[in-house]
Amino acid sequence: MQARGPLMIEHRLIERMIAIIRQTLSQIRASNAVDPLFIDTAVDFIRTYADRTHHGKEEDILFRDLETRNLSEADRRVMNELVEEHVFARKTTKELVEANTRYRNGNGSALGVIADKLETLVNFYPRHIDKEDKVFFPAARAYFTEEEDQAMLAEFWEFDRKMIHEKYKAVVAVLEGV
């Protein structure tokens, strides 16, 4: 397997979650209500899986290693766009959390913000994934030897191995008030 393999496999799961969010968004619009617990679950998935696990491997490993290479102007531009898109997704998710808190606390007007943020995410992720799968990952592969690619793949597996511990250490720290 090439290093981009796990990233593309992760994309498939993200796409499945985005489909669930899209379906729920239709229900929200039809019923003019949302289950705040669903938003909590969607946010947890986006923050932990899509951002920290998936984007973490991209930013902390792949992009880090690409920074040491003589990237073409086009490849560097796309990599910078991807980083900006990750920041955009984090900002949108944060705004979704804030709107969900307002909704949970009785502010009915926050429902419109929740729907807008969900729509932003369901429109964002397919384009972002397509850019990575079809443009950036194939181009990035050319900058690494087979040995370097396999070393990166091993680093991806190690990154994943540590993720569950990182997540739940953070959960306990929050609960402890740290």
Alpha carbons 162 and 178: distance in angstroms, whole number:
21
**pLDDT at residue 178, rounded to an integer:** 72
Residue (of 38, 14, 43, 15) closest to 26 by Cα position:
38
Domains, the chain, ordered by start: 4-176 (1.20.120.520)
**pLDDT at residue 171, rounded to an integer:** 75
Q: Which residue stretches of the chain have pLDDT < 50? A: none
Global confidence as pTM: 0.91
Question: If you ran DSSP here, which 8-state letter would residue 66 be given?
Answer: H
Residue (of 109, 104, 125) closest to 22 by Cα position:
125
